[in-house]
Structure 1
Amino acid sequence: MLKKIMLLLTAMIVLTFGITYAEEQSQNKIYNLSMEDAVEFGLKNNEAVKIAQFDIEKNQVISKKAVSLWSKAPENSMIETKLLSDGYYKRQTEMAVKLSRKSKELIEQKIGLGIKNSYYEISRSIKDIGVKEENVSRILEQQRIAESKLKIGTGIKQEVLTAQAAVEEAKLLLANAKDDLKYKEMEFNKLLGLPFDVIVNLTDDVISNISLQTPESIDLHVKVTEAQRNRIEVIQAQENMDVSKLYFDIVSSYSAVNTYDYREANYEKEKANNELNDTMQNVELSVNNAYLNMQKAARAVSVYEKNITSLEEAHRLSQLSYEAGVGIQMDVLNAQNMLYNAELSYVQSLHNYNLAKLKFEASYGIGY
């Protein structure tokens, strides 16, 4: 009887533990997200996108009201009624609807760029930690060699102490990098609308798996043309131009050339035309600047990649010389430090290229 009771109690404990564990697992949900998944997830949870949608709906209501007033406008020569009856105010509200839609697209793109940037930052930090871990391993090996040489009488205590100090400094840098990663993960969760303690695993290796775009693969003229068609500032300038021209056409239909109304309307039309031309030039400059920045970033990646190959060999040779007793410890430490800095610079250059490529792609999209 006692044995049965004990078995029953054990089963109840196991069952209770299982339920509690399952509840904890459901609360501590883990997300495995590609970069595109992260963008989609963030857009669904972002309040700015919802507010932008409200603006579209509000302007649509205003536009419908303008259409209703336009259809009921009486025919007379009064300027306000003329503007109303000839569709000027209707056209203004249509512009507001179009721009509010584009504004929502721009908000979504900016949010997406922010999420992608944060995704890149976390990926870079993970790579940085890997470099720093490798740095600790190399210096620990340096410490081992110094201790071995001291034990057999070919080294000195100072070399061991120097290596120990270098190890402690490398471990400090590694610990700081891990703390930096934790904070960046919290920032990323905030962008996605997730609690800070939720774990998000990045499934895309956006640092290692990149392909550098060569100048020959990009038709810059085509990209500029796309930008001048897609960028929100161009669309706004074009809309202002169209509305100003409509206003001039209406005013000029009943006003003489020498009247104030005609001259003011003509001035607004010419001003809008000049602003459109200026905006088109600024967009062309923006695309070219983003393209050149991407090419500069690509060149940096190539340089640091080559440097690492050379410095790895230099470090290997200096360590062999020191271990054989024909080199000095300082040469090894200097080679180690140069290799470490080159590796960090290489990771940073990959990150910089990713960001430059993002900005270039946005430059011929709706903007950024």
Structure 2
Amino acid sequence: MKRISIIIALCLIVSMFWSISLDESISLAKQNNKDLLSSKEDLQKANQTYYQVRANIYPQLNVVGAYSLNKTYLPDSAIVPPIDLSLGLDPDTASSNDYYLANVMSGALNSLVPSSPMEEGSMALSLQMQQVLFTGGKLNYSIKTADIYRNIQQLNYQLKEQDIILKTTQMFYSCLLADKLVNVQEAALETARHHLARVEAFANEGLVSDFDVMRARLEVAKLEPQLMQAQNSRDLALSAFRTQIGVNDPTIVPEGNLVLPPKLDITLDEALTQGLENRIELTMAKKGTEVANLQLKTEQAGYFPNLALQASAALYTKADEYAIEGDDFGTNYSIGLGISFPLFNGFATKAKVNSAKSGYRQSQYQEQKYEDLIRLEITQNYQKLRHAEKNYLVQEENMKMAERSLQLAQLRYENQVGIQLEVFDAQTTLSAIQLQYFQSIYEVISATRELQKSLGMNF
């Protein structure tokens, strides 16, 4: 029953933790990383900028309309009394024709005199079109620049994604390493405490000296803070890992084996060639040089004229009252060709061209600088991996010798040829070498991933 209770307790403890694989960790990190999400929004903005610039090659159509009602009250001084020319005719001599003409003229003059209040209604509707015909290539260069810019943002997103994958992978395996180191330290401390109990028992029987007891106690005292440090390192590694994947759940623990990755069978020259062909940073630098070249061409296009076509069709009315009748409408059509030719601007265009030339040369220098840095990085990571692989082989041999030494010490002790202290020393040595062995595996994994990234490989 006691054994069953222990098993049930262990199962409950295990069920309290959420084990997560490397692939799941990388997926969560990409989903929750704020820098990567922000870079994705930059990519969307770059796409929309490209569409905005490209829209300038199409005709620009606008509908402009207005409808207004006006009512004006004139001052009293501006209001003229009605005119009646018939009052100036002599009734004795004026004929009926004279009165008729006088009334007609009076009506005509009164129609010219403003009345108060004056009411007026008007409406206008216009369809306007503008089409760029020639800009010296500036519009074409702007579209190409916007397209390259969005490609750069896409590459920048991929670069950030690679960085996140590499960092998440390293943290994942650092947690596995930290857990291994804690297990080794716990086993070593348990062995030291077991040895101390045996030595103290022998001391009570007078079989060992006080020096042997003191030595066993010092071993326990030395291993206890080492275990505490290993546990603290594991907690810190887990905390950093959970922050990296964007899930602050204290029950999340990485699940996997600390095993060697497939060996990268590649020479240094091959690595340099592959890296220079596939590195995203170098591709971005080349595209930056293309943008600088397009900027130079854009400034040089400032010497050429600009040509545009403009056309419009308008429908308008104007009435001396609020009501607009069907016969109040009029139409207007226009089409024109506009040209702008630069003659002299104080040599500003020449200065812009010279500045763009300098920017183009700077981009070329920057591209060469990136190439040199990438060569150096690949060389360093290549040598780091080869050193890590050699160190692993050494530690592997040390593990075999330490395990063999422990077997021999146990065999000598069982045959009463050796003493129990030899077994303890062999166990302590094996624990120390195990720490170095697991560390060497992690170094190979980390160095392999770093070299893969510096070669532009997807993993």
Letter in 2 for 1:82: G
Q: Does 1:84 align with 2:138?
A: yes
For 1:343 and 1:200, the matched residues in 2 are separated by 26
Q: Does 1:37 align with 2:24?
A: yes
Q: Does 1:345 align with 2:431?
A: no
Shift in Å, 1:303: 0.8
1:171-190 equivalent positions in 2, closer than 5 A: 171-190=224-243
For 1:295 and 1:250, the matched residues in 2 are separated by 49
Contact 1:70 1:84 in 2 (8 A): no
Tell me what 2:247 maps to.
194
For 1:311 and 1:30, the matched residues in 2 are separated by 34
Shift in Å, 1:97: 0.8
Contact 2:166 2:449 in 1 (8 A): yes
Superposed CA offset, 1:313-365 (max 9, x none): 44565677789587795x77765554333221111111111111111111122
Tell me what 1:238 maps to.
286
The TM-score with structure 2 as length reference comes to 0.62
Shift in Å, 1:251: 5.8
Q: Does 1:229 align with 2:277?
A: yes
Superposed CA offset, 1:95-140 (max 9, x none): 2211111111122222222221221111001110121122123323
Aligned counterpart in structure 1 of residue 203 of structure 2, from 126, 150, 161: 150
Tell me what 1:213 maps to.
263
Task: Could you tell me which runs of 5 or more consecutive residues in structure 1 were left unpaired when the two chains were aligned.
Answer: 1-24
Higher helix residue share: 1
Aligned counterpart in structure 2 of residue 276 of structure 1, from 355, 367, 372: 367
Query: 1:260/1:294 Cα in 2 relative to 1: closer, same or farther (>3 Å)?
Result: same
Superposed CA offset, 1:24-74 (max 9, x none): x9xx98533210111112212222222111111111111111112355674
For 2:206 and 2:52, the matched residues in 1 are separated by 95
Shift in Å, 1:224: 3.3
Query: 1:71/1:279 Cα in 2 relative to 1: closer, same or farther (>3 Å)?
Result: farther
For 1:253 and 1:184, the matched residues in 2 are separated by 57
1:20-59 equivalent positions in 2, closer than 5 A: 30-59=17-46
Contact 1:212 1:298 in 2 (8 A): no
Letter in 1 for 2:395: Y
For 1:240 and 1:66, the matched residues in 2 are separated by 19
1:50-199 equivalent positions in 2, closer than 5 A: 50-71=37-58, 74=132, 81-82=135-136, 84-85=138-139, 87-197=140-250, 199=251
Letter in 1 for 2:254: L
1:198-347 equivalent positions in 2, closer than 5 A: 199-205=251-257, 207=258, 209-211=259-261, 213=263, 217-248=265-296, 264-314=355-405, 337-347=428-438
Larger Rg: 2
Instruction: Give percent identity, aligned residues only.
Output: 18
Query: 1:159/1:316 Cα in 2 relative to 1: closer, same or farther (>3 Å)?
Result: farther
For 2:54 and 2:24, the matched residues in 1 are separated by 41
Shift in Å, 1:265: 4.7
Q: Any idea what SS the aligned residue of 1:155 has?
A: coil
The TM-score with structure 1 as length reference comes to 0.75
